[in-house]
Amino acid sequence: MKQRLAVLILILAFPAARTFAQQAQPLPQPQSAPEIKFDSVPFLKLSYDRNLGEVLGVAVNSKGHVVVLNHPGNANAGPVYGESTTQLFEFDEKGNFVRELGQHVYGFAYAHSVRFDKYDNLWVVDKAAMSVVKFNPEGLVMMNLGRRDEGPDEPHYRHANPPPTPVDAEFNGSTDVTWDSDDNIYVSDGYFNSEIAKFDKHGNWIKRWGSAGPGGVHANENPGQFSNPHNIGIDRDNNIYVADRGNRRIQVFDTDGNFKKFIFLNIPYDKTRHPVLGNMAANRPDETQPWVICITKTPTQYLYTADSEPGRIYKIELPSGKIVGYLGQSGHELGQFNWIHGLACPDENTLYVADMNNWRVQKLILHPDKH
What is the pLDDT tens value at each position of the chain, 371 positions in all?
444 444 333 333 333 333 333 466 888 888 999 999 999 999 999 999 889 999 999 999 999 999 999 999 876 666 666 678 899 999 999 999 999 999 999 999 999 999 999 999 999 999 999 999 999 999 999 999 999 888 766 666 555 667 678 899 999 999 999 999 999 999 999 898 999 999 999 999 999 999 999 999 999 999 999 999 999 999 999 999 999 999 999 999 999 999 999 999 999 999 999 999 999 999 999 999 999 999 999 999 999 999 999 999 999 999 999 999 999 999 999 999 999 999 999 999 999 999 999 999 999 999 999 86
**Residue 251 and residue 235: Cα distance in Å, rounded?**
13
Alpha carbons 294 and 346: distance in angstroms, whole number: 9
Max distance between CA atoms of the chain, in angstroms, equals 82
In sequence order, which residues have a C-beta less than 8 Å from that of residue 371 and are 6 or more positions away?
34, 37
Distance CA 196, CA 192 (A): 12
CA distance 173 to 164: 12
Cα–Cα dist 90/88, whole Å: 7
Instruction: Describe the crossing of helices 15-23 and 2-13 by its angle, rounded to 10 degrees.
Output: 70
Separation of alpha carbons 112 and 288, rounded Å: 21
From the list 300, 314, 323, the residue with the least C-alpha distance to 366 is 314
CA distance 175 to 114: 10
Contacts of 175 (CB under 8 A, 6+ apart): 112, 113, 125, 127, 188, 189, 190, 191, 228, 229, 230, 231, 232
How far apart are alpha carbons 125 and 107 in whole angstroms? Answer: 9
Residue-level length of the chain:
371
Query: What is the per-residue DSSP string for 248-275?
Result: TEEEEE-TT--EEEEE-------TTSPP
Is the distance from CB of 248 to CB of 215 less than 8 angstroms?
Answer: yes
Separation of alpha carbons 123 and 143, rounded Å: 9
CATH number attached to the domain at 36-49+116-367: 2.120.10.30
SS3 356: helix
Cα 102 from Cα 278, distance rounded (Å): 34
Are 62 and 261 contacting, i.e. CB atoms less than 8 angstroms apart? no
